[in-house]
Amino acid sequence: MKIALMGNPNVGKSTVFNVLTGSNQQVGNWAGKTVERKSGVIQRADEEIELVDLPGTYSLTAYSQEEIVTREYILREKPDVVMAMVDASNIERNLYLVLQILELIPRVVIGLNMMDLAKSSGISIQSQKLALALNVPVVEIIAAKGKGIEEFLAEAIRVGKFKSNPLIDDVPYPQDLENKIKAMEELLAETVWATQYPLRWLAIKRLEQDPEIGQIWKRVPKSTQKNRSLDPCCDIGDPVKYELEESVFLPGETLLQTYEAEGWSKDHFEMAVADAKYRYISKILPEFLKHEDSIKTTWTDRLDQWILSPIWGYPIMFIVLSLVFWFSFVASAPLGGAVSEGMALAADYLVRLMQWFQIPDVLQSLVRDGIFAGVGAVLAFVPQIAIFFAFFSLMQDSGYLARAAFLGDRFMQLMGLHGKSFFSLVSGYGCNVPGIMATRTLEDPKDRLITMLINPLIPCVPRLGVMSAVVAAFFPGTQGAVVMVSLLFISLVLVMFSALFLRRVVNQKERSAFVMELPLYHIPTMRNILLPTWQKTYSFLKRAWTFILVASIIVWALSSYPQGVPMSATWAGKMGSWLAFIGQPLGFDWRIMVAIVFGFTAKETTLSTLGILYGVAADASQSIAQAMTGAMTPLGAYTFLVVYMLYIPCLASVVTTYKESRSIGWTSFGIAYNLLLSFGLGWLIFHCGLALGIK
């Protein structure tokens, strides 16, 4: 059985999905899309069920990738039943999506979530009367407390096994609109499309001139070009069987031209259909919903008086983000040190064991100076990353992150960006890859592109970890704190400058309006915090034991061969000598340049590369940084920190930028921009420091 889980954003879908699937989840992207795909397998009564968590969306039009993906899945995959999540505290807007779902598939079960929040807000809903009004089963659930979720699934399984589809009443439209829908239905009834899509829905989409449906109709099989028919569920991507016919006469074109002459444009139909649905919802609401005469002040209202206050909101946000970073970088330091010491002990034990078995020295060096020195230095950051992602999930699930975006919108507008860009930039402090992916929430393609290109200027956790180690070695005590703050300040200034500059480059003239939903506050579940944290941390660990392991071995080989020669004469040394002309004007030795080059593969490998090149075997990151003190002055170290913080994003970020932008040109521009900005600013700082007598 195949079940689709659908609903508006922030209705508790993720909670239900995580409870039902647990660790049996697969996370990826939909084919050809940048939207995340989540699916899981459930076993109930010796039956295997595939549960697909479709992207949260407010409607099933074709204006965003989330809407397109969700609609295409229902139409093409034809799930046995849809579990539609509805926020009981905001039921009117949620039912709009339910009505659209019922136009596509009649087997639907409504999960009425957040009943406790609705009750505390003075809203009373009689679920049985709601079920009668829509002729759809309704199950009351409180997902955050795990109540009703199994009953929700059981009802979905029952409905999915129906031998015939239940009868669903059509939404009544005004008579004039109804006549036009009927006319289009009659015209499309004889076409092959009517056998693939619900006819009434197909007629409405044709009247709305839905662009996605139009693209499918324009693809005509060569064998049937004369009669202009098409099975839309065929493999339309085969160039041998099909070709794109832009001039094909779409069904109903003459009828649409007639309606347009009468004043019924595409937008007119869309507004009329949406208005009719909301009128229908308003008509049936009194049958099952009651509001108390006295409106209660909820906890959300009380908290928002402070959190969204123009006076107190920003200090509160500063305190919250400061605590997140303090726990991520300061409180996690002992854990990181313990991991580093553990790796050092493991390396010593393994090397002694290899010596006992008389393993060749070259393999001992590979284990000690390559694998453990490289990967060990990176694994020391795992506690930082895990804690950061845990706090990020906590803010997101509690509802605070949406408030932070609302407050951040004022600063984003100064840069000409959308308030939702705040999500991307804040996510960048954890990792630039999810930060770039977070631009999917932006509707305007130019806003997305600008935010993608400036995101790598935000130092991620691995970069901040390397930076903090170097700062601690060269600038101890309070001086180090001032230096770290100055680096973050430089980053933010360049983000603002770059955003304004890139607005001109991409020719972004109009600013998008900032409209977003502020969900009710609720206490996050441990599952919703720990599961995403584990998934992201596990992804990082996989990189450490695969990608970074390979990079560490390559660096070890380059720095070890030819054998019996000084480090500067090895292959890595020769690579550094070739790059010396770039590093010398900034006070960098060849080791720093090699580390910068390998830092492109993954920012974590910068520290592992330095650990190998400076001969610090599987030791604490602090020792690696201290080894650098003999290679450069404090001014050189500060210059290195600026360049390292700003230069090319890691390989994963570059690949993600390409996948999200689908443009080699803009991806290459981003790389070149970061290189010029970082080395140019580094050169300026270094020479200004020399001119002022700083060393």
Q: Is 689 annotated as a binding residue?
A: no
- Looking at residue 636, its pLDDT comes to 87
Whether 553 maps to a domain, the answer reads no
18 is in an annotated binding site: yes
Confirm whether residue 159 is marked as ligand binding: no
Query: Average pLDDT in the 257-263 region?
Result: 87
Cα-flanking dihedrals φ and ψ of residue 243, to 5°?
-145, 155
Residues 156, 183 within the same domain: no
- Give the contacts of 600 (CB within 8 A, at least 6 positions apart): 648, 650, 651
Q: Among candidates 180, 199, 181, which has minimal Cα distance to 189?
A: 199
10 is in an annotated binding site: yes
136 belongs to an annotated ligand binding site: no
Residue 149: CB atoms within 10 Å: 21
Same-domain check for residues 229 and 139? no
Q: Would the annotation count 496 as a binding residue? A: no
In whole angstroms, give the CA distance from residue 685 to residue 639. 7
Q: What amino acid is encoded at 662 in this protein? A: R
53 annotated ligand binder = yes
Does 546 reside within a domain?
Answer: no
Instruction: Give the DSSP letter string of 532-575.
Output: HHHHHHHHHHHHHHTHHHHHHHHHHHHHH-STTS-GGGSHHHHH
179 and 113, same domain (yes or no) = no
Task: Give the confidence band of 280 by pLDDT, cuts at 50, 70, 90.
Answer: very high
CA 103 to centroid of chain Cα atoms: 30
Domain-terminating residue out of 94, 125, 160: 160
Q: Which of 160, 192, 210 corresponds to the end of one domain?
A: 160
Query: Is residue 135 predicted with pLDDT exceeding 90?
Result: yes
The residues pairing with 112 across neighbouring beta strands, listed in sequence order, are 86, 140
How many domains are there within the chain?
2
183 shares its domain with 156: no
Q: Tell whether residue 113 is among the known ligand binding residues.
A: yes
Residue 155 DSSP SS3:
helix
Q: Is 646 annotated as a binding residue?
A: no
Band of residue 533 on the pLDDT scale cut at 50, 70, 90: confident
* 167 located within any domain: no
End-of-domain residue from the set 201, 235, 264: 264
Is 293 a known ligand-binding residue?
no
What integer best gives the mean pLDDT of the chain?
Answer: 80
The enclosing domain of 200 has a CATH number of 1.10.287
Helix/strand/coil (H/E/C) assignment for every residue in 601-653: CCCHHHHHHHHHHCCCCCCCHHHHHHHHCCCCCHHHHHHHHHHHHHCCCCHHH
The token pair that represents 494 in the structure block:
């360049």
pLDDT in tens, 427-453: 777 677 767 877 766 767 788 888 899
**55: annotated binding-site residue?**
yes
19 and 114 both lie in a single domain = yes
Let me know whether 22 and 49 are in one domain.
Answer: yes
Mean pLDDT computed over 62-77: 82
Q: Which residue has the tokens 């015939």?
A: 164
Shared domain check, 213 and 92:
no
pLDDT at 230: 37
Q: Is 509 inside a domain boundary?
A: no
Q: Is 515 annotated as a binding residue?
A: no
Q: In this structure, what is the dihedral angle of CA atoms 522, 525, 529, 532, given to the nearest 10 degrees?
A: -110
Question: Which run of H or of E encompasses 119?
Answer: helix 115-120
In the structure encoding, which two tokens stand for residue 420, read together? Answer: 């939702």
Residue 115 is assigned to a ligand binding site: yes
- According to the annotation, is 12 in a ligand binding site? yes
**238 and 155 part of one domain:** no
pLDDT one-digit tens code per residue, 454-475? 998 988 877 877 787 778 778 8
Put residue 148 in one of left, alpha, beta given phi > 0 → left and psi -120 to 50 → alpha.
left
Q: Residue 42 belongs to what domain range?
A: 2-160
* 7 marked among binding-site residues: yes
The single residue listed with the structure tokens 């039956």 is 47
More confident residue, 508 or 251: 251
Q: What is the pLDDT of residue 466?
A: 77
Return the structure tokens found at 572. Answer: 């890595």
227 is annotated as contributing to ligand binding: no
Residues 75, 135: one domain?
Answer: yes
561 within domain boundaries: no
Pairwise CA distance, residues 580 & 637, whole Å: 16
Can you tell me the mean pLDDT for 213-242? Answer: 41
147 in helix, strand or coil?
A: strand
* pLDDT, position 238: 34
Same domain, 120 and 186: no
**DSSP-assigned letters across all residues of 12-56:** SHHHHHHHHHTT-EEEEE-TTSSSEEEEEEEEETTEEEEEEEPPP
Give the E-state strand segments of 250-347 in sequence order: 289-291
Residue 628 known to bind ligand: no
Quick one: pLDDT at residue 329? 64
Encoding tokens for residue 140? Answer: 């009351």
Residue 62, domain member (yes or no): yes
Is position 674 annotated in a ligand binding site? no
Q: Is residue 201 part of a domain?
A: yes
Q: What is the tens place of the pLDDT at every residue in 307-337?
A: 988 889 889 988 887 787 778 767 777 887 7
CB atoms within 10 A of CB 236: 17
Q: Are 77 and 2 in contact (CB under 8 A)?
A: yes
226 in the same domain as 187: yes
- Are 46 and 191 in the same domain? no
Whichever domain contains 106, its CATH number is 3.40.50.300
Residue 587 lies in a domain: no
